[in-house]
Amino acid sequence: MSPATTTLDRRSFLKLSTAVGGGLLIGFRWGQAAPPSNAAAFQPNAFLSIAPSGKVTLLNQNPEIGQGIKTAFPMIIGEELDVAWKDVIIEQAPLDTDQYERQVAGGSGAIRSTYPTLREAGASARALLVTAAAKKWGVKAADCTTANSTVTHTPTGKTLTYGELATAAAKLPLPDSVRLKDSSQFTLLGTRVRGTDVPKIVTGQQRYGIDTKMPGMLYGAITNPPEHGQKLGKVNDSAALRVPGVVKIVSWPDKVAVLATNTYAAFQGQAALQIEWKSPRIRESSARLSAAFADAIKNGAGDTKRKVGNVERALQNAERVIEATYEVPFLPHAPMEPINMYADVKADSAYLLGPMQTPANARRDAARILGLPEDKITTEMTRIGGGFGRRLKTDFVEDAVHASKLAGAPVNIVWKREEDMINGGFRPAGLYHYRAGIDAKGQLTAWHLQSASVTSRGAVVPNNFPNGAVPNFQVDIHHVRTDVSTGAWRSPNHNVCAYLDQSFLEEVGHALGKEPLAFRLELLRQAETAPFGKVDYAPARMRGVLEAAAKMANWGQPPAGRFQGISSHFSHHSYVAQVAEVSVTDGRIKVHKVYCAVDCGQVINLSSAENQCEGGVVDGIGCAWFGDMPIVDGASAHTNFNSYRLIRMNEAPEVETQFLDTGYPPTGLGEPALPPASAAAANAIFAATGVRIRNLPFVHTDLKT
Amino acid sequence: MAQYTLTVNGQARSVEADPTMPLLWVLRDLLELTGTKYSCGIGQCGTCTVHLNGSPIRSCSFPVSAAAGQPITTIEGLSAHGDHPVQAAWQEGDVPQCGYCQAGQIMSATALLATTPHPTDDEIDAGMSGNICRCGTYQRIKAAIHLAAAKGGAK
């Protein structure tokens, strides 16, 4: 990346275009800093302040959910500011859509979209500090350098700290342009930095939303329908109201909240409720859905999401046609911190505090419910105990708002684990039918995927590899309606499609007698040099991670008794390839190790980046291995961790990660390491056993043969 | 409702509670020691782990009536300055992602090291597989336990 100079307009609310990050239009609210608490403090923008004492405060605008943003965002500001990292204080900013853009935890898009803005925030502040020092000394700014929160006049060696310069810098006008660093000049980005909140986490001092305690606050246990599609009927709360500690019981469409002086009393009251639920005409079941999926694929019209060439003709002309049907189940999100939210609704205002992935949506929905303008609602984010997509929804925020309004008191609502396992909204279940055509020369000439799923968008990734490498390529979707609620689940669509595409591709390669890595590289060469249709990924970058993962794993020469599987996937603008080392003994799977090669452009925090990859691999393999949520007689078959199985330490593989230095700006990393992991493991299981697992989870397939 | 005197982190604390109230809710809601977390409520995930008489228990499934009169240690009381070797190792290894399960993980790890000062990988797996980390930080947890063991974490 070359150094970039950006021109800054001093007027606030100006959108400016920048050369950084591929010429994206970046909104930057200059001059709209929060009112200074200390008039002498230097607060050039909403991202940082420097006090005369030398205290540097960097603000994190986005929700922290474990992705490490509360450390990564300040690192980006701090890099351009040349700040002494050990003295930095990091604070969580509230929701403020005038000051900040995209205050969202989701879509692995935060770093990619906000990187230029944060760099400019740091660089412009640094420029003012240098100007202040140069003025004071009567020297040229060009002769000054910065490091460790200090400006140095290089010819004389004179120094002034940022704290000493803060008051003078605060009086200067913003610069017309700032020069950003070349990535070769980075001293902070790409290094390992410990998570901001880790000292508080390991001592029990870190507050999550569920830990909120406020004067006069009631604890609220939320009851949702026990079966999918049910509506609330009569509520008999007389027994519940007799539970000591229960204060009030309120309800609104399809919800009941028991409000009490402590959580246990609220749960006891909840258990004592007698509720009549009105069931839908058809009680949903996974068996009905599976049959409906198969029928839709066989008889439905479908909706074509991608079409290159003529698949039907190519299949008719093919020497061989390879077919396979895959099925994936619903999956709950199951974040460790149960669903909770605090709301304090007053007549003309409201205060929201809690674990939201989309705080702006939360405020919007609260305003709608209360009939208040959004500016009457103050919204603050707590550190979030995991989400995996669950807290992109605002259903629980609505619960807190309704409960507080109806109770006339501040309320912290909580969903028992069981409530979320039933009603949290699942990763969509689906059935996927593949056909591949092979011509007389042994070339892959046709690729046809038909999906049937419970979402109207089809739960497919229609433009991914091997698209571009096959002359006739088509993806059709079929939509089957259900009462089961679904939602975005970490790496939506990709989490399924990487498994499917990378497994079926391996089936095709096996049928052709091709070595798995060589087959992929051959197809990528086609997509790179003579693509069929539009290619939305960069084949060379995909090849780069595949070759790196293969090298890391010593591909083709696994340790004795272990078998290898390879997989790669492009998502959230990043490329990941993995090699899994697996053994299968008496039908029992052991995933020993996963090698993970990543091209996500510039790495921000190496420790956190590695952690995301380690966790993504464990999550991807764990959920493919054990994750299942059958629907039986309208209800979720699993309601807690006694029967819903999550991967545990004794099952988790060791993960070794390598980031490729490709010089690109940073792209997503919270999600991209997850999708390829399940297929790498499944391909290794095939290498070990000859069994191709086409129905998830793995545990449903008997490998004792 | 009954009156109980609990010894939490070396301090005598008096509470009035339903005898069936799990220790978890006594700690969190009555004593406002929120470092101990709720997650599954049925003793399956280890998130709520505290020490009773030095042994790990799942506080979500342990009634207050059975805990009275015995020393209870929570994450807040594990060390005076947050410098127990296990806490230090967790910091050095930058273990957490979301961090929500980590108090329970640390309480299980300290209990493991108290009985097995230098555990093997298999012993760590056996001692820690009752604790779920949904973010998948198991590799770092394991490394941190080894690090704490090397630095005398059995204290």
Side-chain-facing half-sphere of A632: CA atoms under 13 Å: 6
Buried b (16+ CB within 10 A) or exposed e, A278-288: ebeeebbbbee
Distance from CA of B69 to the nearest CA of A (A): 22
**Whether the Cβ atoms of residue A161 and residue A54 lie closer than 8 Å to each other:** yes
The reply to whether residue A198 touches residue B99, judged by beta carbons under 8 angstroms, is yes
Cα–Cα distance, A299 to A634 (Å, whole number): 26
Mind listing the pLDDT tens digit for each residue in B59-84? 999 999 999 999 999 999 999 999 99
Written as one letter, the residue type at A9 is D
Phi, psi at residue B74, to the nearest 5°?
-110, 175
Listing DSSP states for A509-549 in one string gives HHHTT--HHHHHHHHHHHHHHS-SS---S-HHHHHHHHHHH
B34 touches chain A (CB under 8 A): yes
Say if residue B53 is exposed, middle or buried (CB neighbours under 10 Å; 0-12, 13-18, 19+): exposed
Residue A10 pLDDT class (50, 70, 90 cuts): very low
Whether B125 sits inside 8 A of A642 (CB atoms) is: no
Of all residues in chain A, the percent with pLDDT exceeding 70 is: 94
B149: distance to nearest CA of chain A, Å? 17
Query: Which residues have C-beta within 8 Å of that of residue A576, sequence separation ≥ 6?
Result: A545, A568, A569, A596, A597, A598, A599, A613, A672, A673, A675, A676
Q: How far is B138 from chain A (nearest CA, A)?
A: 5
Chain B residue whose CA is closest to A387: B98
Of the candidates B34, B97, B141, the beta carbon closest to that of A66 is on: B97
In the predicted model, what is the mean pLDDT of residues B100-119? 98
Structure confidence by residue, pLDDT tens digits, A675-702:
999 999 999 999 999 999 999 999 999 9
Considering only the beta carbons, identify the residue of A203, A262, A338 that sits closest to B75. Answer: A203
Helices B102-115 and B138-150 pack at an angle, to 10 degrees, of 40
Residue A29 confidence (pLDDT) above 80? no
Q: Nearest by CB to B38, which of A68, A210, A384?
A: A210
Query: Are the Cβ atoms of A615 and B40 closer than 8 angstroms?
Result: no
In whole angstroms, how far apart are CA A349 and each of A343, A372, A374, A377, A553? 11, 7, 9, 6, 58
Task: Write the residue in A206, A417, A607 that is nearest to B41 by C-beta.
Answer: A417
Given an 8 Å threshold on Cβ–Cβ distance, is A615 in contact with B30? no
Q: Which of A264, A649, A651, A671 to mutate to probe the B interface, most B CBs <10 Å?
A: A649
The percent of residues above 90 in pLDDT, for chain A, comes to 89
Tell me the two tokens of residue A208: 């999550």
pLDDT of residue A177: 84
With CA atoms as reference, report the closest residue to A695 among A647, A630, A613.
Answer: A630
Task: Tell me if A262 and B38 make a contact (CB, 8 A cut-off).
Answer: no
Contacts of B63 in chain A (CB under 8 A): none
Q: Is the pLDDT of residue A658 over 70?
A: yes
Structure tokens at A574: 């990043």
Residue of B nearest to A195 (CA): B94
Residue A522 confidence (pLDDT) above 90: yes
Q: H-type helices in A245-356, by residue range?
A: 263-272, 286-299, 311-317
Residue of A119, A665, A670, A674 lying closest to A387 (CA atoms): A670
Quick count: other Cβ atoms within 10 Å of Cβ A700? 12
Q: Indicate the SS3 state at residue A671.
A: coil
- The pLDDT value recorded for residue A411 is 98
Task: Give A-chain residues touching B18 at CB under 8 angstroms.
Answer: 244-245, 264-265, 268
Contact A385 B90 (CB under 8 A): no
Pair of tokens at residue B23: 């220790």
Mean pLDDT, residues A22-30: 29
Cβ contact A611–B140 (<8 Å)? yes
Which one of A641, A647, A652 has the shortest CB-CB distance to B45?
A641
Record the tokens describing residue A102, joined without a space: 């995209």
CA of A607: which chain B residue's CA is closest? B94
Chain A residues whose beta carbon lies within 8 Å of the beta carbon of residue B76 = 203-205
- A347 CB neighbour count, 10 Å cutoff: 9
Residue A35, C-beta contacts closer than 8 angstroms, at least 6 positions apart? none
Gap from A66 CA to chain B (nearest CA, Å): 3
Contact between residue B127 and residue B121 where contact means Cβ atoms under 8 Å apart:
no
The sign one gets for the Cα dihedral B143, B148, B152, B155 is negative
Judge whether B59 is closer than 8 Å to chain A, CB to CB: no
Which conformational region is residue A331 in: left (phi greater than 0), alpha (psi within -120 to 50 degrees), or beta? beta
**What integer best gives the mean pLDDT of chain A?**
93
H helix intervals, B55-101:
64-67, 85-92
Q: How confident is the model at residue A87 (pLDDT cuts 50, 70, 90)?
A: confident
CA distance B131 to chain A (A): 7
Q: Which helix (H) or strand (E) holds A623?
A: helix A606-626
In 3-state terms, what secondary structure has residue A430? Answer: strand
Confidence of residue A453 (pLDDT cuts 50, 70, 90): very high
Chain B nearest C-alpha distance from A382 (Å): 11
Which of these, B62, B42, B135, lies nearest to A643 by C-alpha position? Answer: B42
CB contact under 8 A, A650 and B131: no
| Angle subtended at Cα B102 by Cα B96 and Cα B103, rounded to the nearest 5 degrees | 145
pLDDT digits (tens, 9 = 90+) for A484-520: 999 999 999 999 999 999 999 999 999 999 999 999 9
pLDDT digits (tens, 9 = 90+) for B29-54: 999 999 999 999 999 999 999 999 99
CA distance A575 to A538: 9
Task: Give me A101's structure tokens.
Answer: 């853009």
> How is residue B69 written in tokens?
């009169």
Check if the beta carbon of residue A675 is closer than 8 Å to that of residue A619: no
Give the list of residues 6+ apart from residue A110 with CB closer than 8 angstroms, or none: A62, A67, A69, A73, A102, A104
* pLDDT score at A31: 38
Residue A67: CB partners within 8 Å, gap ≥ 6? A105, A110, A608, A612, A669, A670, B97
Judge if ipTM > 0.95.
Answer: yes
pLDDT band at B155 (very low <50, low <70, confident <90, very high): low
Structure token pair of residue A204 = 């029990």
Amino acid at A351: Y
pLDDT at A18 over 90: no
Under a CB-based contact definition with an 8 Å cutoff, are residues B56 and B118 in contact? no
Instruction: Please spell the DSSP secondary structure of A461-506, one letter per residue.
Output: -TTSTTTTTSSEEEEEEEE---SS-B---SSTTHHHHHHHHHHHHH
Which one of B134, B141, B145 would you mutate to disrupt binding with A, by most A Cβ within 10 Å of its Cβ?
B134
Chain B residues lying within 8 Å of A612, measured CB to CB? 97
Would the CB atoms of B18 and A383 count as touching at under 8 Å? Answer: no
Buried b (16+ CB within 10 A) or exposed e, A615-631: bbbbbbbbbbbbbbbeb
Query: Is A213 close to B32, i.e. CB distance below 8 A?
Result: yes
* Residue of A69, A191, A198, A203 to mutate, interface with B, max B Cβ within 10 Å: A203
Residue A239 has pLDDT above 50, yes or no: yes
Give the percent of chain B with pLDDT over 90. Answer: 95
What pLDDT band is residue A39 in, cutting at 50, 70 and 90? low
Predicted local confidence at residue B152, as pLDDT: 82
**Angle subtended by helix axes A675-689 and A606-626, to nearest 10:** 50
Q: Chain A closest CA to B52's CA: distance in Å?
A: 17
- Mapped onto helix, strand or coil, the DSSP state of residue A571 is strand
* Nearest CA distance, A450 vs chain B (angstrom): 32
Instruction: Give the confidence band of B24 by pLDDT, cuts at 50, 70, 90.
Output: very high
Residue B1, classed as helix, strand or coil, is coil
Number of residues written out for chain A: 705
What are the residues whose beta carbons fall under 8 Å from the beta carbon of B100, sequence distance 6 or more? A208, A335, A336, A337, A385, A386, B37, B39, B47
Check residue A499 and give its pLDDT: 98
Checking if the pLDDT of A16 tops 80, the result is no
Nearest to B136 among A219, A265, A615 (CB): A615
Residue B131 forms contact with A (CB below 8 Å): yes
Contact predicate A485/A479, CB 8 Å: no
- Is it the case that residue A203 has pLDDT exceeding 60? yes
* CB atoms B34 and A213 under 8 Å: yes
Confirm if B112 and B49 have CB atoms less than 8 A apart: no
pLDDT, one tens digit per residue, over A133-149 is 999 999 999 999 999 99
